[in-house]
Structure 1
């Protein structure tokens, strides 16, 4: 988890990509916004759940298991995190 200084330095998207890379075992360079989590990053349902739980912990947000169905791309993940941070 990042400390307060790191949270100010790194933009949301960079932090999201770092969490995704750690949980999905993918390279950040391969995570373009339109990249499919399943078809291009080869994430299975358990990895997606782990990713969501890690994002919830890292950002202090709540993306529910039901929300995963609507998250298909890297851009969708970033949008979901941004929306919950703004709420």
Structure 2
């Protein structure tokens, strides 16, 4: 397992949060899924206690964030040209 694999997984899991800015280099692996609204599975894995107070479920909280990101135009990717990526090398 790569040295920073767990930390990178947490960063990618939350990359789709409203207002999030995630910067990646060409050293990152290809085929990474960024879930709009954040990755609910990753959130659930880190859950120790149940949410209380407003009575909202984790699903409702995630769904609201997801819809907010979609309404804001979704995920915007900015990138420069990379010969290695273009040639598959």
Structure with greater Cα Rg: 2
Normalised-by-shorter TM-score class? under 0.3
- TM-score, length basis structure 1: 0.26
- TM-score, length basis structure 2: 0.26
